[in-house]
């Protein structure tokens, strides 16, 4: 439905006197109200079914936390890649092992910050803390707390004008609200999240909140990452997901042009239905991919476990190392010894057995401080996360 422009255009001027047009969005919900019927309602229903299937997968996994550890990190990598980092999942895991990653340190710190911010948000909402401007600022504080962006007012709504695309507001693709309008815009968004003035179905709410947040662009940096993170938090709080296994960053990266076009369609034409159809398709395809990936990994673990049991002597310790590599698919002898409680010689012997079975590979070529990779596991995940640089 074409409603017309969904906000006010505000003329602003820079310190140099240049004139630009900033956009201040109208409050949610859309007016007239959303019309979800026919093909759009079918798309939403299919997306909800896909979420349900994904949610049920978490109850069938042998150990959900094994998957959550890597899924959260996979999302951190993908979301940060949208912002231009070159870190891979391997780089992040190396960083967490206190090893040197293969990309600039600022890149991997940025990804590590995202992991910490996402885990903080999930912990808070599971403890019953509401999704609010306070929580959003807490998340942003962690996201920009170290490395690149630490000088961009972490945890504070911006007090200066920002823009998207271009080199300045005057030639930007999009100019968000002037800083003096940000507090009111975010206050209205918070009320909408809390079902004021009307209750909004959780799936639709997540879709609308994402667009509104990206339009307000309340921070000097990190808006895209926080906006994508909000989708997962909203779905978890609503009970549509028990575990945070749905992340749209890869889909948005693959459909970047359509995504940005639809953000502008909402702002200029008020066609929220077109955005909601795109969002439903993104959720449906992403959830289906996650289910397939989880199934592939479960099959991998079972097949490799069966092969390990066939080696006879030494199978017990090899299985313990194999289980630890399911939790974290990259490790040193020392980290695997700590994780399994086995001695260094026992872990070394177990890794020799796993290498002979081609279950693990040594990634560094060094004689000391070697890093071992659970090949099929990491390769499966890296299919979705590798930019220009190569995996370990």
SS3 145: coil
Q: Give me the CATH topology for the region 311-382.
A: Arc Repressor Mutant, subunit A (1.10.10)
- Structure token pair of residue 344: 């260094």
Per-residue pLDDT reduced to its tens digit, 138-168? 999 999 988 777 888 999 999 999 999 988 9
Q: CATH 1.10.3290.10 in the chain: give the residue spans.
A: 7-292
Cα dihedral sign, 283-284-288-291: positive
Q: CATH 1.10.10.10 in the chain: give the residue spans.
A: 311-382
Provide the whole-model pTM: 0.89
Nearest to 275 by CA among 286, 285, 265, 283: 265
Please state which CATH number belongs to domain 7-292: 1.10.3290.10
Per-residue pLDDT reduced to its tens digit, 315-366? 999 999 999 999 888 899 999 999 999 999 999 999 999 999 999 999 888 8
Mean pLDDT of 240-257: 88
Across 176-190, b (16+ Cβ under 10 Å) vs e yields bbbbebbeebbebbb
Strand residue runs (E) in the chain: 7-13, 19-25, 330-332, 360-362, 371-374
Distance of alpha carbon 217 from alpha carbon 340, whole angstroms: 45
pLDDT band at 103 (very low <50, low <70, confident <90, very high): low
What lies within 8 Å, CB to CB, of 37 at 6+ separation is: none
Half-sphere exposure of 269 (CA within 13 A, CB side): 12
């Amino acid at each position: 439905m074409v409603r017309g422009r969904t906000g006010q255009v505000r003329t602003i001027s820079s310190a140099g006197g240049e004139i630009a047009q900033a956009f201040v969005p109208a409050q949610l919900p859309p007016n007239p109200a959303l019309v979800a019927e026919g093909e759009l309602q079918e798309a939403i229903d299919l997306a909800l079914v896909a979420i349900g299937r994904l949610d049920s997968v978490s109850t069938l996994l042998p150990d959900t936390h094994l998957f959550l550890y890597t899924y959260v990190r996979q999302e951190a990598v993908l979301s940060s890649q949208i912002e231009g980092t070159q870190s891979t999942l391997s780089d992040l895991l190396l960083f967490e092992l206190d090893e040197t990653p293969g990309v600039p340190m600022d890149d991997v710190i940025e990804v590590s910050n995202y992991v910490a911010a996402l885990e903080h948000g999930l912990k808070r909402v599971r403890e019953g803390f509401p999704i609010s401007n306070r929580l959003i600022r807490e998340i942003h504080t962690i996201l920009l707390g170290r490395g690149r962006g630490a000088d961009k007012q972490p945890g504070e709504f911006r007090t200066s004008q920002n823009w998207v695309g271009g080199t300045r507001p005057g030639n930007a693709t999009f100019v968000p609200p002037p800083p003096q309008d940000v507090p009111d815009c975010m206050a209205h968004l918070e009320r909408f999240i809390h079902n004021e003035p009307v209750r909004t179905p959780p799936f639709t709410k997540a879709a609308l909140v994402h667009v509104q947040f990206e339009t307000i662009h309340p921070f000097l940096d990190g808006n895209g990452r926080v906006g994508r993170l909000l989708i997962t938090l909203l779905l978890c709080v609503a009970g549509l997901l028990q575990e945070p296994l749905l992340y749209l960053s890869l889909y948005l990266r693959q459909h970047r042009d359509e995504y940005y076009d639809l953000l502008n369609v909402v702002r200029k034409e008020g066609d929220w239905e077109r955005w909601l159809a795109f969002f439903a398709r993104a959720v449906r395809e992403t959830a289906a991919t996650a289910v397939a990936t989880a199934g592939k990994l479960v099959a991998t673990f079972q097949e490799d476990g069966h092969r390990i049991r066939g080696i006879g002597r030494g199978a017990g310790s090899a299985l313990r190392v194999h289980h630890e590599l399911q939790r974290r698919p990259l490790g040193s002898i020392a980290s695997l010894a700590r994780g399994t409680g086995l001695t260094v010689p026992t872990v070394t012997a177990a890794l020799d057995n796993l290498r002979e079975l081609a279950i693990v590979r040594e990634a560094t070529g060094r004689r000391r401080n070697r890093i071992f990779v659970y090949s099929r596991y990491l390769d499966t995940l890296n299919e979705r996360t590798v930019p220009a640089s190569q995996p370990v």
